[in-house]
Amino acid sequence: MKATYQKHNLEFKQPAGTSRGILKTKDTYFLKLDNGSEKGIGECNLFKGLSSDDRPDYEEKLQWVCDHIEMKPAEMMETLQEWPSILFGYEMAMKSMQSADPFTLFPSPFTEQQDSIPINGLVWMGDQDFMMKQLEEKLASGFDCIKLKIGAINFEAEMKLLKSIRARFRESEITIRVDANGAFTAENALSKLEELSKYDVHSIEQPIAQGQWEEMAHLCADTPVPIALDEELIGIYNSSRRAECLDVIKPQYIILKPALVGGFANSREWINLAGDRNIKWWITSALESNVGLNAIAQFTYTLGSRMPQGLGTGGLYTNNIESPLEVKKGHLYCNDVAAWDTNALNF
């Protein structure tokens, strides 16, 4: 079997504001397999500054995987455990090659156009006018679950934005999620959560930076707004440590990004651990191209959750890979009328 990788620089349609700064481009890598009769493709979605395998020798490791592609899958996956984005791409590529259609990894009513996945509409950080403009667009296009990135502008201005939403829509009409990306401090987080609770916020992702387990545990115990762990899950590679994380912090939710936690099998393990502790979850993409987003969406559908998922990032780029994925009225559909642009993938 032959394996190669291809780097692809994704370009945002408009700069994406996060608490880590402004994103204009994002690199990703496609891992391609070919055994002469079948082909497979996966996306190694490196998120610089966030992925635990953001290392100077990243491409060297990708080449190593290509050079050792004949290794037994179980051994390869064990070897790549601390390279979660590469493990995600490898697991996807192997699943792709074993499938009748390399882009249909998890056949289901979703891939057969019989069902869709509810998703949240993402509003990026920026000034109040910019965020309100995005919000209006999401509401007009039919979303009833909105996720707002907060922590970049004045907190009072963000509360004013939430107040304006609630002046128009009740909690039963529009679900509001917020994502702080660790922007609060352990000292001010609870007071900010109390302010957020005035606007019937569904949940807040990662209010304080990861690694502060005791502080996060206190917040989860006292919070008036349910807390979802996101970045907190990154870089935890073994089952016992994962269980310890959930047992210490006791969050209300966890959010799984397969590219950041090590693919589908590792996502399932987190879900099982959470289920044993009555912790709810949802799945979110991490700025993949449509190749990775497609695989994540298909995987997510098989898990049976009807909670809105975080899978609405396919339209962010000017040079994404053309795919069958389509967002309509707050749902993600797989429309097989649209063809994959295999030329852009050299696949």
CA distance 256 to 44: 16
Reported confidence tier of residue 282, pLDDT bands at 50, 70, 90: very high
Q: 211 and 245 in contact (C-beta within 8 Å)? A: no
C-alpha separations of 36 from 93, 211, 267, 291 in Å: 15, 46, 31, 22
Helix or strand or coil: residue 49?
coil
Q: How many Cβ atoms are within 10 Å of 18's Cβ, its own excluded? A: 18
> Token pair for residue 310?
């975080």
Residue 61 annotated in active site:
no
> pLDDT tens digit string along 32-66?
999 999 999 999 999 999 999 999 999 999 999 99
The pTM for the full model equals: 0.95
Which phi and psi (to 5°) does residue 79 adopt? Answer: -60, -35
Pick the CATH number of 117-345 from 3.90.1200.10, 3.40.50.10860, 3.40.50.1370, 3.20.20.120: 3.20.20.120
CA distance 242 to 236: 6
- Catalytic residue, chosen from 32, 95, 149, 192, is 149
Comparing C-alpha atoms, which of 92, 58, 57, 28 is closest to residue 258?
Answer: 92
Q: What is the pLDDT of residue 19?
A: 58
87-101, 140-154, 207-221: which range is least confident on average? 140-154
Q: May I ask the CATH architecture of the domain 2-97?
A: 2-Layer Sandwich (3.30)
CA distance 121 to 141: 9
Q: What is the pLDDT of residue 135?
A: 86
- Catalytic residue, chosen from 95, 147, 192, 257, is 257
CA distance 347 to 344: 8
CA dihedral 189→192→197→201, nearest 10 degrees, is -80
Neighbouring-strand partners of residue 4: 32
Q: What is the pLDDT of residue 338?
A: 72
Domain with CATH 3.20.20.120 in the chain: 117-345
Q: What is the pLDDT of residue 339?
A: 79
Residue 13 annotated in active site:
no
* pLDDT of 18 strictly over 70: no
Domain with CATH 3.30.390.10 in the chain: 2-97
Q: 150 and 180 in contact (C-beta within 8 Å)? A: yes
> pLDDT tens digit string along 175-204?
999 999 898 999 999 999 999 999 999 999
Reported confidence tier of residue 81, pLDDT bands at 50, 70, 90: very high
Q: What is the pLDDT of residue 104?
A: 96
CA distance 254 to 66: 33
CA distance 254 to 74: 26
- Residue 181 corresponds to which amino acid? N
